């Protein structure tokens, strides 16, 4: 008989090992972002594949995570799920901390047009596909809204990784894509806030929706404002500690607290983590945290992606494979049209617009986070989660193949 503690230790050991092995194979041999390897390894070791096979004397290493239909309450034994939650809080806190306010505001104008175009087109296309496939009653039902939100957001980490690998971070296209990505992240979180606000009351009723939307957005604004106003005092307090590791531990405590508070106010935890990270960016603390944050990031964030992969129920996904393909297609087309067309209007030529459009194609952590939230709240069927993972994998592969080719095709991307 195996008991809880060793089982948990084995689970954590296997997840860590799988994360690094999958990441390494992707990075070294397939030249793909590590996140893909983590997702695929999660699928392989998950409860619907190898992890579900009973081991002698232990039983299955992993059992399916439960969705409760209400708030994201993991069932007994899902400590891994809680650790993944902490990992994603770490990721979004770090993303907030790392947001360069100056770069953000310099490119905010043109980039936000690009980002908004991509969001609107992808969101609308995906919600329409959901209705067309009979997976949502109408365009504004919770399912359609969540599917739209999943497809709408871009992945900063995957896009940044591919463009950095090509050495094109400094080109006008590179800067525009990254700035639009950052804005997209904020928009994705705002959209998530709005969608959760609307769906918390079950259906779309204008007044109630506006009220809960107002409450959610109000909390988000209040938390960000409080963070920015108090940043000086928070930083002063935290860096006054002399015991080793205090800055990171205290900042993490603050991020966890803000995340818990956000969830209490009907938002997603990550909204709180991102808001407090943003408030503390451009402070002395952000520099102090850079190195320990890096260490924690590389160890814990992969756990999130492996756990996301473990949520994929193959049989269920097979039943919605056509829908999944349709979603992937509109996700790509939505970004190319939604981001490419505005690019033509802000001084780029056709090749530049194509680069920006394809640069905005990859989906990643925000899509998975939104899908995970929708799944645990019972707002999308479990096979939809597999579609989200399919979306992340397909868009990442297409971007890593097409984008280098578009950049190699040469020529300036701006009209002269």
Residues that bind its own copies (CB under 8 A): 2-10, 12-14, 16-17, 19-20, 23-24, 27-28, 34, 70-74, 76, 79, 82, 85-86, 89, 241-246, 248-250, 252-254, 256-257, 259-261, 263-264, 269, 291-292, 294-299, 302
Q: What is the Cα–Cα distance from 180 to 360, expressed in whole angstroms? A: 8
Output DSSP code: residue 141: S
CB of 87 to its own copies, least distance (A): 12
Residue length of the chain: 416
Residue 24 or 203: which CB sits closer to its own copies?
24
Residue 155 or 171: which CB sits closer to its own copies?
155
CB of 172 to its own copies, least distance (A): 29
Residue 50 half-sphere exposure, CB side, CA atoms within 13 Å? Answer: 11
CB of 129 to its own copies, least distance (A): 31
CB of 254 to its own copies, least distance (A): 7
Residue 44 or 249: which CB sits closer to its own copies?
249
Residues 8 and 79 sit within 8 Å (Cβ to Cβ): yes
Which among 266, 273, 284 is positioned nearest to 194, based on CA atoms? 266
CB of 276 to its own copies, least distance (A): 11
Determine the 3-state secondary structure of 39 from DSSP: helix
Cα–chain center distance at 69: 21
CB of 22 to its own copies, least distance (A): 10
Which among 100, 262, 77 is positioned nearest to 185, based on CA atoms? 100
Residue 13 or 53: which CB sits closer to its own copies?
13
Determine the 3-state secondary structure of 20 from DSSP: helix
Residue 55 φ then ψ, to 5°: -90, 150
Cα–Cα distances (Å) from 112 to 68, 181, 368, in that order, read: 37, 9, 22
Residue 8 or 204: which CB sits closer to its own copies?
8
Which residues have a Cβ under 8 Å from the Cβ of 355 and sit 6 or more positions away? 173, 177, 403, 406, 407, 413
CB of 308 to its own copies, least distance (A): 16
In the chain, DSSP finds a helix count (H) and a strand count (E) of 17, 0
Residues 48 and 230 sit within 8 Å (Cβ to Cβ): no
CB of 8 to its own copies, least distance (A): 5
Which among 343, 202, 309, 192 is positioned nearest to 262, based on CA atoms? 192
Cα–Cα distances (Å) from 337 to 57, 250, 305, in that order, read: 55, 44, 29
The three-point CA angle 110-368-250 to 5° equals 85
Residue 8 or 139: which CB sits closer to its own copies?
8
Q: What is the Cα–Cα distance from 254 to 252, expressed in whole angstroms? A: 5
Residue 74 or 98: which CB sits closer to its own copies?
74
Residue 10 or 133: which CB sits closer to its own copies?
10
CB of 389 to its own copies, least distance (A): 20
Residue 210 or 290: which CB sits closer to its own copies?
290
């Amino acid at each position: 008989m195996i008991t809880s503690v060793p089982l948990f230790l084995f689970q954590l050991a296997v997840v860590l090992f799988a994360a690094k092995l999958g990441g390494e194979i992707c990075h070294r041999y397939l030249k793909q972002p590590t996140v893909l390897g983590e997702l695929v390894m999660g699928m392989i070791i998950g409860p619907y594949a190898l992890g579900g096979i009973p081991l002698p004397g232990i039983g299955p290493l992993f059992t399916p995570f439960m969705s409760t239909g209400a708030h994201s309450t993991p069932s007994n034994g899902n400590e891994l799920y809680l650790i993944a939650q902490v990992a994603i809080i770490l990721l979004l806190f770090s993303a907030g901390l790392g947001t360069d306010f100056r770069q953000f505001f310099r490119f905010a104008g043109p980039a936000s047009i690009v980002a908004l175009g991509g969001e609107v087109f992808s969101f609308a296309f995906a919600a329409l596909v959901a209705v067309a496939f009979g997976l949502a009653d109408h365009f504004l039902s919770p399912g359609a809204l969540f599917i739209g939100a999943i497809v709408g957001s871009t992945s900063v980490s995957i896009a940044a990784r591919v463009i950095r690998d090509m050495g094109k971070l400094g080109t006008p296209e590179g800067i525009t894509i990254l700035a639009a990505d950052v804005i997209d992240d904020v928009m994705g979180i705002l959209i998530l806030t709005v969608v959760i606000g609307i769906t918390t009351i079950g259906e779309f009723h204008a007044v109630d929706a506006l009220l809960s939307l107002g409450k959610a957005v109000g909390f988000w604004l209040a938390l960000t404002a409080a963070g920015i106003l108090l940043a000086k005092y928070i930083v002063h307090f935290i860096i006054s500690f002399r015991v080793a590791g205090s800055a990171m531990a205290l900042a993490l405590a603050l991020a966890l607290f803000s995340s818990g508070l956000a969830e209490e106010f009907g938002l997603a935890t990550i909204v709180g983590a991102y808001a407090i990270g943003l408030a503390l960016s451009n402070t002395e603390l952000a520099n102090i945290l850079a190195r320990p944050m890096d260490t924690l990031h590389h160890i814990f964030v992969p756990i999130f992606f492996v756990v996301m992969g473990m949520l994929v129920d193959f049989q269920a996904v097979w039943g919605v494979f056509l829908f999944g393909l349709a979603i992937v297609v509109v996700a790509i087309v939505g970004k190319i049209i939604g981001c490419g067309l505005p690019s033509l209007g802000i001084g780029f030529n056709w090749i530049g617009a194509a680069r920006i459009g394809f640069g905005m194609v990859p989906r990643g952590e925000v899509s998975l986070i939104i899908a995970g939230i929708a799944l645990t709240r019972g707002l999308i069927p479990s096979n939809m989660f597999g579609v989200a993972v399919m979306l992340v994998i397909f868009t990442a592969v297409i971007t890593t193949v097409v984008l280098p080719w578009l950049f190699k095709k040469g020529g300036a991307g701006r009209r002269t």
